[in-house]
Amino acid sequence: MSDIDIRITGHAGRITLTRPKALNALSYDMAMAIEAALDAWAGDDRVKLIVMDAEGDKAFCAGGDIAEIYKTGTAGDYDYGRRFWRDEYRMNAKMFTFPKPVVSLMQGFTMGGGVGIGCHGSHRVVCDSSRLSMPECGIGLIPDVGGTLLLSRAPGRLGEYLGTTGFRMGPADAILAGFADYYVPKDNWPALIATLEETGDWQAVDRAATAPPDGKLAAMQADIDRNFGGETIADILRALAHDTSDVAALARDQLAKGSPLSMACTVEMLHRLRGIDTIQAALSQEFRFTYRALEKSDFLEGVRAAIIDKDRAPKWSHSDASAVPGMLVTTMLMPLGANELVWEDAQ
């Protein structure tokens, strides 16, 4: 496949995303090729670890390739999108539970679907250019691909903040929030990859890592924790309205841009997930929203405004997040019965 290069080099299973002109956006076929490699390498003694990287300087993976989901969804066909998300999520679970070390090297943009392949491994590497985010609320979706598990595990209330605002994390921010583990200057990546291929020794990542430059989130966290601890998005907005800090002002501006329904569901999902804390629970809950997204959420309108027409003026289904009924949030996250995700072959 021209969009992805999968091979074994030395002791390493190698996965390289090769569509830099599209910011290495993850297509359905690419996701399924990754899943096939995980299945093949889990029991292959030749493969001591996996090394994932991507061509180009701008992005490791800027998200899922949602053009076909939009095209089919606007035509009233919801099956393609549901199949895309169902199968992608099951691949994400296999990445998270893979029995061997997985080293991912994430330069530039790593967003949405890129987080699902880059941030579930054991050795997640960032560099100066790395910008990680979960911006789905801005297109009427929710943080998915297992991103809600990472957000729910982030210190304090960083998860609510990152999940609703889509804040772009630099290398130190990503490490603080639990989306990355190591900072390695990008000029050192070729030598690190060569060592991993030659030796299969994951400790080479530890030896290559250095301290990252200072980030932004650490200084923001006290203000974030103070404002994002409410039970609902409406509680968060009320707290922000009475806070005069620069962080609160920035957050108010960021929250004014996202889908109210998506933000309300995101906060509820993170609160629920903290009591369960498994990748399967995270993905199952995410799928309940995305299964309904094409028909009942702001997703198609969000994609239209951001990607298709690019007018940046979405007409959301609610005027603001305080206007989203709690019962609607509950309805979007209700079990799907026979359509729930199943995990027998994703363990």
**CA-CA distances (angstroms) from residue 121 to 65, 115, 116, 278, 298?**
21, 10, 9, 15, 31
Residue 247: other Cβ atoms inside 10 A: 19
Active site residue 136: yes
Say if CB 113 and CB 145 are below 8 A apart: yes
Active site residue 231: no
Q: How far is CA 27 from the centre of its chain?
A: 15
The single residue of 73, 108, 113, 159 carrying the catalytic annotation is 113
Which amino acid makes up residue 17? L
Say if CB 26 and CB 63 are below 8 A apart: yes
The single residue of 136, 160, 197, 298 carrying the catalytic annotation is 136
Active site residue 229: no
DSSP structural state of residue 239: H
**CA-CA distances (angstroms) from residue 323 to 158, 259, 318, 320, 328?**
24, 11, 6, 6, 11
Active site residue 64: yes
The single residue of 13, 63, 64, 258 carrying the catalytic annotation is 64
Q: How far is CA 260 from the centre of its chain?
A: 19
The single residue of 35, 65, 88, 144 carrying the catalytic annotation is 144
Active site amino acids = 64, 113, 136, 144
